[in-house]
Structure 1
Amino acid sequence: MPLHPEIAGFLAGLPAPPGGPLDPAALRAADEARVLPTEQRLPLHAVADVTARTDSGEVPVRVYTPTAAARHGVLVYFHGGAFFLGSLETHDHLARSLAKETGLTVVSVGYRLAPEAAFPAGLDDCHAVVRWVARQGDGLGWDGGLLAVAGDSSGGAFAAAVAARAHDEGFDRITHQVLYYPSLDLDFDPDRYPSLRENAVGYGLETAGLRPFNAFYLDSGADPADPRVSPIRRPDLGGLPPALIVTAEFDPLRDEGELYGRRLQEAGVEATVRRYRGANHGFVQHFSRIAEFSDVFAVTRAFLRGH
């Protein structure tokens, strides 16, 4: 099917990107300017900004409690943004929707960003917050059972890398991983996956933009051959938590996400891959209100409850 007409109309109305080098500060400010005022956001039982004191230092997190129940499972969320964009604010609406629709406490992580923080600072923050959640236990109202990691785009790369690192360290509390159109291979050869050619131009995220947008991260010391950077490069995926991988038909990153799902399955890991037809990269963050895509949180809930 073609790109959804509402997405196509939105993309057609966007101004041409400015020329010259990317300016992280300007791009971040533009992202923050689009955030809804607090009074217009989805209400929940409680939303609190907390400082997680971890082995990686003090990490800002936002804790979303869906109901007044004393105990919930927990989902730790890592926002996307090519490792240099995104914040607790830009992904606040996504975290609220996840908390409401899954019934889980969502802990959204304000990890350190490139280029100010060199690799692996952001990844270390994400991993440390998961450990912090497990230590906090009663303090967060965690029921001691479900503990999922999730992320969109570059946050999906962090979720996959955190799940793998936890497995390697013998930390077996992570029960699920949820990856929304994840960026899993930072080798930007445009011939590595067909979707990089098929969806190269006209769908929001463009193949030619992948290298410059990720350059802040790569130039900070992140090596694309390192499985911590490109989780699809991990040679053995056995023993990892069950995975839900959501991809978009018109996303240059579609094929690497789907290949990762197949490799997990081949390694004996339960992996569900769901491709959304007519969708583009970023649709969970920007277009989940569209009827054809609105069940993405219900799909996430069913996956988490079914394992």
Structure 2
Amino acid sequence: MAINKAMKVVLKALSYGDIEVESSRQFANLKSLDPMKLFYKKYNGKIYNEGHEIPVRFYMPDEKSLENGGKGKPVLLFFHGGGWVTESVENYDRVCARMAQDTDHVVVSVEYRLAPEHRFPTGLQDCYAAAKALYSRRIMELDPGRITLAGDSAGGNLCAAVSLMARDREEFAPARQILIYPALNNDYTDHSPYASVKENGQSYLLTAKKMEQYLELYQGSPADRQNPYFAPLCEKDLSRQPRTLILTAEYDPLRDEGEEYGRRLKEAGNQVSVYQVKDALHGFFALGIKYYHVQESFQVINRFLKEE
């Protein structure tokens, strides 16, 4: 179903404005008002990053898994989106609970620290610490080969960066990663090389202007923009990366950079699948399992997870 003229007018109006941190967080927090959350099969835990306590939440696919702590189930380690500035594990409750049920995986969601209070690389380091704890079996007793990294938007950025960092540090080796409309580049001005920034960067909720503001809030200094852990598309050597699924959205300013990352990963010898969700906007994954773009995405994700 294509976006009609009336919907485009509404989207353009909703796309207006700048990122104001506190009001953006308050608006995002409305997602946590979910009357169904009492029924989600979940429990809380924590890991540590150099003395800092990082909350993590475990979502179970069924009652039996809740009773036995997910024993025997594969795991999705999930990093939420929000421009590195907004959102939380609490706000993603419904998304992660549905993900666990629909994929028959234990989903582990990480409460990494947010910018601008905690700028790059703090949030990334929290995500890496959580991944290292999971792969070293300090959180759960499971086969590391049955762990998949996943994230949407800024969480997709963190997912890709964790995979690069894991390769460089040689402390663990992710087998799979799922990047959902990931933010991978460092420039959303008129100098961007990507057509999707120009085509979709003004009137489809997430704007190029807002992406630039998110980057400014996330970076510790302007030099961070050239760091591959900040912007994975800056990495010249993309060899030895996990088998990767990249989902992009047609009306998303980030569309082309996600697809470009897929091409570069494939050129570097990795196994990669790129799937563009037609007529979709950035952020659609958080709309709920009944939304047809989300259902389509889960069909693609489940095919990917079942491949050997």
TM-score (norm 2): 0.89
Match of 1:65 in 2: 60
- Number of the residue aligned with 1:31: 28
Unpaired runs of 5+ residues, structure 1, are none
Counterpart residue number, 1:159: 159
Q: Is the 8 A contact 1:246 1:273 kept in 2?
A: yes
Structure 1 residue aligned with 2:237: 236
> % of aligned pairs identical?
35
The aligned residue for residue 182 of structure 1 is 182
Code of the aligned partner of 1:33: L
Amino acid paired to 1:91: Y
Partners of 1:214 and 1:205 lie apart in 2 by 13
State the AA in 1 paired with 2:149.
V
Contact kept in structure 1, 2:98 and 2:289, CA below 8 Å: no
CA distance in 2, matches of 1:236, 1:104: 31
Q: How many residues align?
A: 301
**Per-residue deviation, residues 114-139 of structure 1 (Å, max 9, x unmatched):** 111122110000000011112335x5
Do the aligned partners of residues 109 and 6 (structure 1) sit closer, same or farther apart at CA in structure 2, a change above 3 Å counting? farther
Would the aligned equivalents of 1:4 and 1:279 in 2 still touch at CA under 8 Å? no
State the 1:208 CA deviation: 2.3
Q: Which residue of 2 aligns with 1:296?
A: 297
Q: Deviations for 1:241-266, whole angstroms, at most 9, x for unmatched residues?
A: 01100000000110000000011111
Q: Name the stretch that deviates more: 88-97 or 184-193.
A: 184-193
**Structure 2 residue 42 is the aligned partner of structure 1 residue 47:** yes
- Answering whether residue 145 of structure 2 is matched by residue 145 of structure 1, we say yes
Question: CA RMSD for the aligned pairs?
Answer: 2.4
Which residue is 2:2 aligned to? Answer: 2
Which residues of 2 match residues 73-84 of structure 1 at below 5 A?
73-84=74-85
Q: Is the 2:37–2:94 contact (alpha carbons within 8 Å) kept by the matching residues of 1? A: yes
Provide the secondary structure at the position in 2 that maps to 1:245.
strand
Provide the secondary structure at the position in 2 that maps to 1:107: strand
2:104 is equivalent to residue 94 of structure 1: no
Hey, what's the Cα distance between the residues in 2 that align with 1:206 and 1:271?
27
| Distance change >3 Å, CA 126–CA 36, structure 1 → 2 | same
2:199 is aligned to 198
Alpha-carbon separation, structure 2, partners of 1:237 and 1:64: 32
SS at match of 1:142: coil
CA 1:116–1:292: 2 relative to 1, 3 Å: closer
Secondary structure of residue in 2 paired with 1:83: coil
Q: In 2, Cα distance between the equivalents of 1:6 and 1:259?
A: 31
* SS across alignment from 2:137: helix
Q: Is the 2:113–2:123 contact (alpha carbons within 8 Å) kept by the matching residues of 1?
A: yes
Change (3 A) 1:93 1:230: same
8 Å Cα contact 1:148-1:175 kept in structure 2: yes
The whole-number CA distance in structure 2 between the counterparts of 1:201 and 1:143 is 44
In structure 2, C-alpha distance between the alignment counterparts of 1:79 and 1:9, rounded to whole Å: 29
Tell me which amino acid in the other structure corresponds to 1:36.
L
Q: Is 1:195–1:254's contact at 8 Å kept on the other side of the alignment?
A: yes
Q: TM-score normalised to the size of structure 1?
A: 0.89
Amino acid in structure 1 at the alignment position of 2:36: Q
Give 1:292 shift: 4.4
Task: Provide, for residues 167-200 of structure 1, a one-character-per-residue CA deviation record: whole Å limited to 9, x for no partner.
Answer: 1122344111100000000222333201111112
> What is the SS of the residue equivalent to 2:136?
helix
